[in-house]
């Protein structure tokens, strides 16, 4: 009976993954044609009556949808990894202060225009944001290594402290700046994809996302064991400190690359892993692919709503995810208190 139940469970999970694959593909194909400006399917190969719609499709819509899928995938996969490593259902990709570091870098670039420059088509704001994210990663790692071992508690406390410190520096810069630059900083911190034009940004983020996901998916066995406790994982042959370092750098660099281009888009890394866990269970061999597919499709859908719900105006996608994430966070908090997680 146990073998039959196991086989049925495997078939059910495989069916769910197949369904998520079909849904993700359908969302990727359909989303570029939705928006305040109708774009016919013929524009895909230049067959539209208006050549401008072909440009809209290839220079704006398709790159934006591709970036949304990559960002959703990265944030969801990182949230899954941090929840397993910290053994905390409320952990997110921004728990360690990476978003604050990136926001500080973007704020510095905005406040001091002489620092503005571009490299290979990448804006100075994205470069400074990535530098801020990398600085945060190095600071958290250094503070964690200052004590013996690689304690998750120390890492978490270091991330929270750096997050508060960088947030206070951002507030200081906003207070010292003029209203125009202050608004630009605030708008960037809402998170959005409206600045994605052509495939330059997509190609810049792609290596971070692909490499990070490959590392995390290669460690699904270790993630499963870490959720049971570090002592048990070590007794099963896992090099706990080395594994945590690999997860930390892979997930953090992936998030830093995404935030540098899109800004801090919140709650994706909190909601998606839990929704997928309800669908396929806690086994990361199944949870990883499900999180990747659902996370990408989820953010594409959120961005489609953001650019159509108030057309011709456009909402930052971070507002949409926050509107969904707030109630979800409260539900998750209540479930955690009642012992459901």
Q: Which residue has the tokens 């259902």?
A: 89
**Percent of the chain, pLDDT > 90?**
48
> In the chain, how many domains are there?
1
Q: Which of 76, 84, 96, 93 is nearest to 233 (CA)?
A: 84
Task: Tell me: pLDDT of 118 over 70.
Answer: no
Confidence of residue 196 (pLDDT cuts 50, 70, 90): confident
Token pair, residue 61, equals: 């819509």
Q: How far apart are CA 114 and CA 127, in angstroms?
A: 14
Q: Which of 145, 147, 166, 144 is nearest to 155 (CA)?
A: 144
Higher-confidence residue of 339 and 322: namely: 322
pLDDT at residue 90 in the model: 82
pLDDT at residue 338 in the model: 44
CATH number at residue 118: 1.10.3470.10
Task: Tell me: pLDDT of 119 over 50.
Answer: yes
- 266 in Cβ contact with 163 (< 8 Å): no
Higher-confidence residue of 115 and 11: namely: 11
Q: Which of 296, 297, 275 is nearest to 287 (CA)?
A: 275
Query: What's this model's pTM, rounded to 2 decimal places?
Result: 0.91
pLDDT at residue 6 in the model: 56
Q: Which of 20-24, 43-47, 102-106, 318-322 has the lowest average pLDDT?
A: 43-47
DSSP string, 170-188: HHHHHHHS-HHHHHHHHHH
Full residue range of the structural domain in which residue 54 is found: 2-337
Q: What is the mean pLDDT of residues 306-316?
A: 85
Collapsing DSSP to helix, strand or coil, 151 comes out as coil
Q: What is the tens place of the pLDDT at every residue in 220-274?
A: 999 999 998 888 888 888 888 899 999 999 999 999 999 999 999 989 999 999 9
Q: What is the tens place of the pLDDT at every residue in 2-21?
A: 566 556 577 888 999 999 99
């Amino acid at each position: 009976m146990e073998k039959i139940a196991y086989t049925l469970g495997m078939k059910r999970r495989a069916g769910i993954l197949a369904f998520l694959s079909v849904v993700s593909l359908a969302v990727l194909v359909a989303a570029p044609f939705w928006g305040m400006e109708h774009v016919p399917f013929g524009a895909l190969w230049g067959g539209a009556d208006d050549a401008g719609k072909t440009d809209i499709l290839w220079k704006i819509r398709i790159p934006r949808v591709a970036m949304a899928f990559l960002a959703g995938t990265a944030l969801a996969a990182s949230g899954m990894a941090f929840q397993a490593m910290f053994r905390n259902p409320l952990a997110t990709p921004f728990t360690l202060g990476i978003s604050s570091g990136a926001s500080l870098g973007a704020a510095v670039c905005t406040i001091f225009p002489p620092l503005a420059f571009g490299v290979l088509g990448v804006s100075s704001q994205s470069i400074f944001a990535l530098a801020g994210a990398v600085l945060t990663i190095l600071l958290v790692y250094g503070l964690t290594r200052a004590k013996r071992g690689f304690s998750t508690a120390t890492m978490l406390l270091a991330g929270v402290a750096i997050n508060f410190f960088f947030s206070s520096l951002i507030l200081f810069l906003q207070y010292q700046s003029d209203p125009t630059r202050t608004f630009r900083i605030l708008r960037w911190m809402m998170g959005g994809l409206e600045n994605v034009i052509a495939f330059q940004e997509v190609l810049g983020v792609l290596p971070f996302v692909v490499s990070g996901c490959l590392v995390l998916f290669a460690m699904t066995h270790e993630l499963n064991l870490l959720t049971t406790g570090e002592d048990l994982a070590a007794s099963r042959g896992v090099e706990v400190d080395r594994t945590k370092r690999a997860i930390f750098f892979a997930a953090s660099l992936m998030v830093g690359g995404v935030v540098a281009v899109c800004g801090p888009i919140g709650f994706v890394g909190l909601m998606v892993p839990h929704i997928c866990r309800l669908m396929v269970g806690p086994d990361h061999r199944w949870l990883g692919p499900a999180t990747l597919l659902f996370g990408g499709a989820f953010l594409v859908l959120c961005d489609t709503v953001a650019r159509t719900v108030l057309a011709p105006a456009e909402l930052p996608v971070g507002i949409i995810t926050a509107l969904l994430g707030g109630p979800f966070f409260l539900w998750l908090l209540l479930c955690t208190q009642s012992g459901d997680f």
